[in-house]
Amino acid sequence: MARYANILETIGRTPLVRLNKLAPAGVHVHVKVESFNPLGSVKDRLALAVIEDAERRGTLRPGQTVVEATSGNTGIGLAMVCAQKGYPLVLTMAENFSIERRRLLRFLGAKVVLTPAADKGTGMLDKAVALARAHGWFLCRQFENEANADMHTRTTGREILDDLAGERIHAFVSGFGTGGTLLGVARALKARDAAVRVVAAEPDNAPVLASGIAQPRGADGAPSASHPQFRPHLMQGWAPDFIAPLTGTAVHEGLVDEIVPVSGREAIRLARALATQEGIFVGTSSGATLAAALDVARRAPAGSHIVCMLPDTGERYLSTPLFDGIGVDMDDEELQLSRSTPGQRFDQVAVRAPSAPTAPARAEPPAMPAAPLDVEADTFAARAIERNPVVMFALEWCEFCWAVRKLFAHLGIAYRGVDLDSVALQQQDLGTRLRPVLRQRTGAATIPQIWIGGTHVGGATDLFDALRDGRAQRLLAEAGVTFDAGARVDPYEFLPRWLHPRAAA
C-alpha cells in the first residue's frame, strides 16, 4: 500500500463500482462510492479545495478561525482539514440535522452553533456570515466558491474518465447541495464528450430547479430568501432551500440536460436495497441519486454506461427515518434462532419502565386574520376526518410527524396520513390551502393535527399526553380501532433527541 505524509493526501481516487443486481438488464450502472474518502463523504474534496485555495490566495491567515454553514458532511470534511492544518473551526448547523453529525464534528474539535430548524438552510448560512463579519473569521462560502467546482473538474471528473477509458458515457447523475459536484464533473465530462447527458436529481416535493422559478438573491448574488418551491424533504444535505450559485452556474452554462424528481420514500428504499443487495452502505441522499440514475438507465439504450454519485456513508443517518424499523433488540425470528441451540438464551425480554418527561413548551402561534373559507379544501378535510377512524394531517419530513408515525406503528394503530407537502396535494396547491382550513377547525397553526373517531385530539404532544392520561385509548376503543393496549411505552421517547425536553444542545 502507498505511504502518505498526512491524511489529506488520501482524499479522492474513490472506486467506481458496477451494480450487479439493481441495474436494468443490459445497462451498465456504475456508482462513485465517495464514502471511501477518509471522513466518509464527497465533501472531503470540497473542504481540502477551499482551504488550500484560500491559503494560496492569502485570504486565510495562519491560525485564523474558519467558519461555515453545513448540514454535516462539509463540516466533517472541514474539521479533518482544519485539524490537520491547525485552524480553529466553527460550524453553523440547523438543529434538525442528525445528532451523530454534531457529535462527529465536536469529536474532531470543531465548535457547532445550532440554528432554528424553522430557518432552514438560509438561517444557518446567515448565521455563518454574521459570525465571520463579527469576528473577522474566514468564511468558506462553499455554495459559491469556484474552488469547490474546480476540485471536482480536476479530480472527480478526471477519475471517472480514467476509470471508463475506452467506454462512452451515456449519462452522469448527481444530486446537488452546493452544486460543486454537479458543475465540476459536468464540465470535465462534457469537455471530453459533449453528448454525455448530465442529470440533476432533486426531491419531488421541492422542485426548485424543475420549477424554472428564479432564486431570490441579494446584490452580492447570494440567496436572500428560501426558494418559493422549497419544501422540507428527507434527503439531508441534498437540495437546500435555495439554489446555490454554483448550481445556478451549471444551469446557466447549459450543462444540465435533465432534472429527475425523486421521492423520499424511494430514496430510503434504494439506500436500503444498496445495502442488502449490493453490500454498499450509503445514506438517504445516495439512495435518492440512485433512484434518478435507475430511472435514466431504464430509458437508456442497451449497453449504455451510466455513472451515479453516492455522496456519503449510511452512518450519518442512524437517528433519521432511514433507520426506522431497524431494531436494537432481537426480533421474534432472532430470538427463535437464539433458542434453537442450548445456552445464551433470552427467554425473558426486559421491559424498561417508561420515564415521564414534561411536554416540550410550545409557543402560542401569532394571531392571524380570519381568511375566507376554502370550500373545496374544507370539504376534503371533512371527508378525511369522517371516513377514517384515525387521521393525521402531516408533513412528509417533520420530526413531530415522524414521532407520531413511529408511535402508531409501535402500537399497531392503522391511520390515514394526509401529507400536506406531498406531490399529490401540491396539485392545485391543495396542501397549502388546507393549512388555513385546519387552523379554522382547530385554532392551531401547527402540524401535525390528529383526529380519532371524529374527535380532534391535537398535535403530537397533545396525542402523547392523551395517551398518558388514557383519553386516547378511550377514543380509539370507541372508534373500534384495534391497538396494543398492553404496550408499555413513553410516547415522548419517539421524539428525536433534539426535540426531547431532556436533550442537550
Residues 6+ apart with CB under 8 A from 29: 18, 19, 22, 23, 293, 294, 297, 306, 308
Three-class HEC string of 354-422: CCCCCCCCCCCCCCCCCCCCCHHHHHHHHHHHHHCCEEEEECCCCHHHHHHHHHHHHHCCCCEEEECCC
Catalytic residue among 285, 286, 304, 422: 285
Long-range contacts of 438-446 (CB under 8 A, 24+ apart): 438/381, 438/393, 439/368, 440/370, 440/371, 440/373, 440/378, 441/381, 444/365, 445/365, 445/368, 446/362, 446/365, 446/400
Cβ neighbours, 10 Å, residue 321: 19
Catalytic residue among 43, 120, 127, 190: 43
285 annotated active-site: yes
With 0-12 CB in 10 A as exposed, 13-18 as middle and 19+ as buried, what is 107?
A: exposed
According to DSSP, the β-strands at 66-69 and 138-139 are parallel
How many angstroms from the chain centroid is the CA of residue 58?
35
Cβ neighbours, 10 Å, residue 222: 18
Query: Which among 459, 462, 463, 433 has a CA at the least distance from the CA of 447?
Result: 459
Asked if 288 and 175 count as a contact pair (C-beta separation under 8 A), the reply is yes
Residues 6+ apart with CB under 8 A from 433: 374, 376, 377
Cell of 353: 419502565
Cα(287)–Cα(290) distance, integer angstroms:
5
Rg of the chain over Cα atoms, rounded to whole angstroms, equals: 24
Cell of 114: 445550532
32 annotated active-site: no
According to DSSP, the β-strands at 28-33 and 455-458 are unpaired
Helix (H, G, I), strand (E, B) or coil at 20: coil
Catalytic amino acids?
A: 43, 285
